[in-house]
Amino acid sequence: MMDNIGDEFQQQTKYRPDRMAGGGLRWNEQPELYKTYPDRARVTLPPFEPARPMTLHDALHQRRSVREFQSRPVSLGQLGYLLWTSTGIRRTEQGYEFRTAPSAGALYPIETYVVAHEVRGLEPGVYHYAIRERALEQIRTGNLRGPIAAAALGQGMCAEAPAVFIWTAVFARSKWKYGQRAYRYIYLDAGHITENLALAAVSLGLGTCQIGALFDDEVNRLLDVDGVAESVVYMSVVGVPA
């Protein structure tokens, strides 16, 4: 890795009045906004509403990074609620589907996966969140506590927590409009989604800890993504605080 690659990226992706790209968008080349696995087993997420809704003020006061968890599962309803609050469809307007978190150009490059260890009603394994269907698509099954912890630089909380959220980016969705500057927006989009998750988890009495320290290729292999067109950008554990 170049010692100054981050500095160079920051400089080369600046917007300047004298070098703004012109021309319109090629709408026939826009990538699909949704990824699905039509040939995989699908688990429909049940409706769920918090028993005691919490104000945003209280959620902000109570949010903290949690790295130790009780040996208690989360429910499938709780998981579905966290998936919807973090990046679900909130409204449809003039043919566009807008989600609970903002996205540059409404291009939504972020995909959500879950490594489920202890979720009631869900076989342990890796799942992809099918946003439109509000369902989970099964990528693989099995006990992945060891592999996901190892892929997160050995962080034991990834094996201890009942669920690990993993966010990837499908880079072409944003690059179609923004070119290389898209990477700035992709990372911001992931941050918006993750903050939604953290606050929603607090409202359910759950805790989270966001993770940026990870081995990209190892996480990508767990998800069966190529690491080029689509790659991991962020993670978070979720569970009942110890």
140-149: per-residue pLDDT in tens? 999 999 999 9
**pLDDT above 90 coverage of the chain, percent:** 90
Contact predicate 129/114, CB 8 Å: yes
pLDDT band for 52, please (50, 70, 90 cuts): confident
Helices (H) and strands (E) in the chain, counts: 8, 11
Which domains, from first to last, does the chain contain?
55-239 (3.40.109.10)
Residue 122 in this model has a pLDDT that exceeds 80: yes
- CB-count burial class (<10 Å; 0-12, 13-18, 19+) for 81: buried
Quote the CA–CA distance of 25 and 22 in Å, as a whole number: 10
In sequence order, which residues have a C-beta less than 8 Å from that of residue 155 and are 6 or more positions away?
A: 149, 211, 213
Average pLDDT value for residue range 12-34: 86
Q: Mean of the pLDDT values across residues 10-19?
A: 90
Lowest pLDDT segment from 26-35, 112-121, 211-220: 26-35
Opening angle at CA 84, ends 80 and 90, nearest 5? 145
In this prediction, residue 69 carries a pLDDT of: 97
Count of beta carbons in the 10 Å neighbourhood of residue 231: 17
Binned at pLDDT 50, 70 and 90, residue 22 comes out as: low
What DSSP line would sit under 133-199, residue for residue? Answer: TTEEEEEEES--HHHHHHHTTT-THHHHSSEEEEEEEEHHHHHHHHGGGHHHHHHHHHHHHHHHHHH
- Specify the DSSP element, H or E, that contains 5: helix 5-12
The 8 Å CB, 24+ separation contacts for 14-21 are 15/181, 21/179
Confidence of residue 8 (pLDDT cuts 50, 70, 90): very high
Q: How confident is the model at residue 21 (pLDDT cuts 50, 70, 90)?
A: low
